[in-house]
Structure 1
Amino acid sequence: MDPDRVLEGLDPEQTQAARALRGPVCILAGAGTGKTRAITHRIAHAVAGGVVDEQQVLAVTFTTRAAGEMRGRLRALGAPRVQARTFHAAALRQLSFFWPQVIGGERPTLIESKVQAVARAAHSVGIQPDRNGLRDLAGEIEWAKVTQVRPSDYEKTAAKTGRQTPLPGNEVARVFEAYEELRREHNLLDFESMLELTAGMINEYPAIAQRVRDQYRYFVVDEFQDVNPLQKLLLDAWLGDRDDICVVGDPSQTIYSFAGATPSYLTGFAARYPHATVVELVRDYRSTPQVVRVANHVISQARGTTSAGHLTLQAQRPDGPDPVYQEYEDEPAEATGVARKIAVMMQEGVPAGEIAILVRTNAQSAAYEQALNDEGIPFTVRGTSRFFERPEIKQAVHLLRGARHEVPGEEPAPLAGTVRQLLGQIGLTDAAPEGRRARERWESLSALAQLAENMAAGTGHGGRAVTMADFVDELDTRMAIEHAPGFEGVTIASLHAAKGLEWDAVFLVGLTEGMMPIIYAETDEQVEEERRLFYVGVTRAREHLSMSWALARSPGGRRTRKPSRFLDGLRPASPSTAARRAERRKGGPARCRVCAAALTDAAERKLGRCLDCPSSYDEALMERLREWRRAVSREQKIPAYVVFTDATLQAIAEQEPSGLSQLAAVSGVGAAKLERYGEAVLALVSGADPAQVFGGEDTGDEPEDPTDE
């Protein structure tokens, strides 16, 4: 391929990066600025121009998905033999190759999850944490290993760095030491030991170092802000005394410091290599100007070591809708409100697969799963397991391969129907089943069925019908580059898991102090990492961005939560209760207590909120109020709605006034009604039985309220 043709379609900064073919290169790439496009075109340009042989290039990234995407793009650009791998995959490949000559004997078993081994180690030293504690211990051991802290030094190092340990430092050290002993005794290898052994092998054996460095002469490292000391040790071993390395990253997206990552290698790159070429990519092709303004504002408030390196994004897309800021009374109301907004969005044409709900912690997911399920909206919870390594996918691929050969002379059966029929044999049903694991299995199989439907509807096979053999070939290609098919449903993911992804519409939820920033972010550095995490969430949105928070955890709970400080200067000022009352006294428009919009409808003014804003109240309280109203209505021989309308009762149930002054502030409770019914209503709110309040039993129905819709 003509080297100059490779550069076609790049913007000026991307072109500058792609033309910087030799020596150290640092690309500072903001969110949505096309960094993968820049680095893959740079590699392809170097290969096409004869600067380097494609088999001598090693492109390193952090996720199998990103590595697979990079390989796919390089293949399309005419460089299919470039190695694009994660640090761990590259290290495992090299360690496996050289193991017989360096160490010999039986190869160790790779541990993909430490939890079981940590549990055995903890038990051996008389410590028995619960499952959450085990996960925290495993994470702490990983941090120690990537930062090169030995068990004997752990307690002192943890105290010196102010680390929040899952157990007392001396107990973590004991479990850590027992874990390492267990690992050596049973010939187990974890990911950190694998990187350490590979680096040690290269550094200690000159012949191996020469072979590795002859093989790989040209390095590209993506997401360089997330490199940890152990990965840097391996990278330096690969490089030796050479400097043909291109690093790409964004200090503003450093979100793994808790796991040992440090942006200092990126921010200090130019100091280490004074002759380095430094290119900044700031043209944002992903998000609308409205989303970009939010992102720039959030990161402009950053403080600390990464604040000086933040990039100001320049939006390249046309205008879109303004971001939405929404306050809810409690968490269930927030989940329900978000699900309803998604339902409306889907009716307006936004595909479910282009919508995401991003949460700070995985524990927040359940409420949104339930709310989406109640609305009949398909969804998937993004996990960390590799798609093609899931047991159900391995079983499905085996089954599909067995059906790939057509009978000569017979018309091939329609692909989509055949694939669904085959997958039905191993659990694919028309509707998603109940239960997290059953649903995850169903989603995996459904993703394969959807891929078959998409291929069958396409036109990429010369006009002929797509066959089962074509489908299996596509699966084999996707497995080779680790390109998993997508599931057409709303994505629920943690902010950390969302890194590197993007959607048309993003809902950032639970944005309260204590959740964003998280409550255990105590130091300035930890709070700033939370700010960067929020920034990552904002920059996942292409067009629609919604940010919400709840004032209470559960219905009827105290509404004491405050919106995240990261929203300061972004969200419209929400009028206080006193201000709303003063506005009503002056004859001005009442305001919705949820979204602050002016209320014009009588029922809305009574409720104190828009009719389509989420409502949440104690159903038992509402029933007590209705039962009491029926009794009053019969006793006084007046229609029930004359006592209080349905809207006023609902407003009382929602606001749960604790005194006469608060009850008086509810629209529909005038002075006469306050005097006549106030004490009874407050008793009902406090939990009193309607029969005790009224002094009789409730029977029969009440007349319909003609003023309520």
Structure 2
Amino acid sequence: MVNLNELNKEQLKAIKITKGPLLILAGAGSGKTRVLTTKIAYLIEQNIAKPYQILAITFTNKAAKEMVGRLKKLIGKIANDLQVSTFHSFGLRIIKENYQLLGYSSNFVIMDSDDSISIIKKILKEFDLDSKLFNPNAIKSKISSAKNELILPKDYAKYAFSDFEKVVLKVYIRYEEMLKISNSVDFDDLQILPLKLFMEHPIILEKYQNKFRYIFIDEYQDTNKVQYLLSKMISKKYQNICVVGDNDQAIYSWRGANYQNILNFEKDYPNTQVILLEQNYRSTQNILKAANSVIINNKDRKDKKLWTTAEIGEQLTFYQAYDEKDEASYALQEIKQLIDKGIPKETIAILYRTNAQSRVVEEACLKENVPYRIVGNFYFYNRQEIKDLLAYLRLIHNEKDNISLLRVINTPRRGIGEKKITELINRANEKN
């Protein structure tokens, strides 16, 4: 049951707009997830839309799971009929439903980041190129960026001026060949292939347009070119698209995100209604005052000012450190003072921007004899034995998967030499 009584004025206004394009500019802690889920539930409860007509896109599987959980509390089991997923999961669904049109077999496999690196290393070896001179990770990053900008291998020559870029071009061409031979796709393909499908088969696009008549996209400021085009194509027929985001929180330009997508939304959809969610439910007044004073210096932004009815809160401390060691040392001294005052250690956290910064903080903790725990630093699926097991399963599923075969052909050791492996690869290539 949808309860609208506890919503503020702007949240309620956003929920009751049920037709046409809607841009919700939601500051941090302004209840955007609540607004999104309540809006979806409201559409269903008011018989404006059926659950299967709604597509809701989030940027992480965790966020998608949380959204479904909230919707189940509001509308019950019919929440399972909604398509709530990431762009990649949604793309995978489209590929599975149309694999033949894309030139794949039903048992295609998805290569993860490490698999892609392994392929690139093999290609470098095939071309007799030193992986120390031409970093596989850097090449992968270039290929990924090119794919997400819709630059095909044949078009990449326009950008290949340096020796490194010329190597990227060669590797990119061969990389795509190897994926296709192995009936495989990489993570980027999960978004690019559906776009290709829609461009080449308008009838298929119309099928999805008619199916998903209400589109919701969270964190719209983080969308890249492919995601932007996908959402625009699917929503074009009915124009019932609601995007939620905040250009002040755009931090993923390094992976292709373009915050201009949210700034240009009203140009893309001329009849857009705009709602500002400025009331913050998470932070104290002092934190918001500091945040507003910093972000107001950004020139290229949608103007809004967060406010709260919460307490004033503690004063913020700004410390300008001499270097990273001084920074870590200062943080640990402050933490020791808190511990001496009786603050439980488990309630204290250090946040850092990149994983590389953890080392100097760990050293400071060890030096000051302060126990600590690094959170989320190693992923289960990145463990070697798990990746080996998954490679075996992928090979069972898809006998053309040479990448997985090469990973496990000597795991455990079987005494199969490089010469024999090369001979097998050549024979397989001749057969194909």
Q: Is the 8 A contact 1:17 1:27 kept in 2?
A: yes
Cα 1:243–1:191 change in 2 (3 A) is same
SS in 2 for 1:379: coil
Instruction: Give distance in 2, aligned partners of 1:356 and 1:125.
Output: 48
Q: Normalising by the residue count of structure 2, what TM-score does the alignment of the two structures yield?
A: 0.79
Q: Is the 8 A contact 1:95 1:198 kept in 2?
A: yes
Instruction: Give distance in 1, aligned partners of 2:359 and 2:134.
Output: 17
Aligned to 1:314: 307
In the alignment, structure 1 residue 364 sits paired with structure 2 residue 360: no
| Aligned AA (1:175) | V
Instruction: Give distance in 1, aligned partners of 2:344 and 2:119.
Output: 42
SS in 1 for 2:271: coil
* Per-residue deviation, 1:241: 1.9
| Aligned AA (1:10) | L
Q: What does the per-residue CA deviation read over 1:376-396, in whole Å, with 9 as the maximum and x for residues that have no partner?
A: 4332243484x7x6779x9xx
In the alignment, structure 1 residue 65 sits paired with structure 2 residue 62: yes
* Structure 2 gap ranges (5+): 387-432
Q: What does the per-residue CA deviation read over 1:646-694, in whole Å, with 9 as the maximum and x for residues that have no partner?
A: xxxxxxxxxxxxxxxxxxxxxxxxxxxxxxxxxxxxxxxxxxxxxxxxx
Q: What does the per-residue CA deviation read over 1:527-559, in whole Å, with 9 as the maximum and x for residues that have no partner?
A: xxxxxxxxxxxxxxxxxxxxxxxxxxxxxxxxx
Aligned to 2:185: 189
In the alignment, structure 1 residue 257 sits paired with structure 2 residue 253: yes
* Per-residue deviation, 1:175: 2.5
SS in 2 for 1:258: helix
* Structure 1 gap ranges (5+): 160-164, 395-709
* Per-residue deviation, 1:12: 1.1
Aligned to 1:122: 124
* Alignment partner of 1:77 out of 74, 77, 101: 74
* Per-residue deviation, 1:157: 4.3
Cα 1:214–1:272 change in 2 (3 A) is closer
Aligned to 2:275: 279
Q: What does the per-residue CA deviation read over 1:198-239, in whole Å, with 9 as the maximum and x for residues that have no partner?
A: 223234335533443343221100111111111123223322
Q: Is the 8 A contact 1:290 1:323 kept in 2?
A: yes
Aligned to 1:508: none
Moved more, 97-106 or 243-252: 97-106
Cα 1:281–1:318 change in 2 (3 A) is same
* Per-residue deviation, 1:259: 2.0
* Per-residue deviation, 1:329: 4.9
* Per-residue deviation, 1:92: 0.7
In the alignment, structure 1 residue 216 sits paired with structure 2 residue 218: no
Cα 1:106–1:38 change in 2 (3 A) is closer
* Alignment partner of 1:16 out of 13, 17, 20: 13
SS in 1 for 2:216: strand
1:496-515 alignment runs, 5 A limit: none
SS in 1 for 2:56: strand
Q: Is the 8 A contact 1:225 1:249 kept in 2?
A: yes
Aligned to 1:88: 88
| Aligned AA (1:85) | S
Q: What does the per-residue CA deviation read over 1:428-455, in whole Å, with 9 as the maximum and x for residues that have no partner?
A: xxxxxxxxxxxxxxxxxxxxxxxxxxxx
Aligned to 1:26: 23
* Alignment partner of 1:243 out of 225, 236, 239: 239
Q: Normalising by the residue count of structure 1, what TM-score does the alignment of the two structures yield?
A: 0.49
Aligned to 2:51: 54
* Alignment partner of 1:35 out of 22, 32, 36: 32
1:290-439 alignment runs, 5 A limit: 290-303=286-299, 307-345=300-338, 355-373=348-366, 375-383=369-377, 385=379
Instruction: Give distance in 1, aligned partners of 2:70 and 2:120.
Output: 39
Q: What does the per-residue CA deviation read over 1:322-354, in whole Å, with 9 as the maximum and x for residues that have no partner?
A: 111224455334323323423443565766565
Aligned to 1:138: 140
Instruction: Give distance in 2, aligned partners of 1:370 and 1:379.
Output: 13
Cα 1:384–1:209 change in 2 (3 A) is farther
Structure number with greater CO (CA < 8 Å, separation at least 6) is: 2
Instruction: Give distance in 2, aligned partners of 1:233 and 1:330.
Output: 43
The alignment's C-alpha RMSD in Å is: 2.9
In the alignment, structure 1 residue 109 sits paired with structure 2 residue 109: yes
| Aligned AA (1:89) | S
Q: Is the 8 A contact 1:299 1:310 kept in 2?
A: no
- Pick the structure with more helix per residue: 2
Q: Is the 8 A contact 1:250 1:310 kept in 2?
A: no
Structure with bigger gyration radius: 1
SS in 2 for 1:99: coil
Cα 1:231–1:346 change in 2 (3 A) is farther
SS in 1 for 2:227: helix
* Per-residue deviation, 1:13: 1.1
Q: Is the 8 A contact 1:218 1:244 kept in 2?
A: yes
In the alignment, structure 1 residue 289 sits paired with structure 2 residue 285: yes
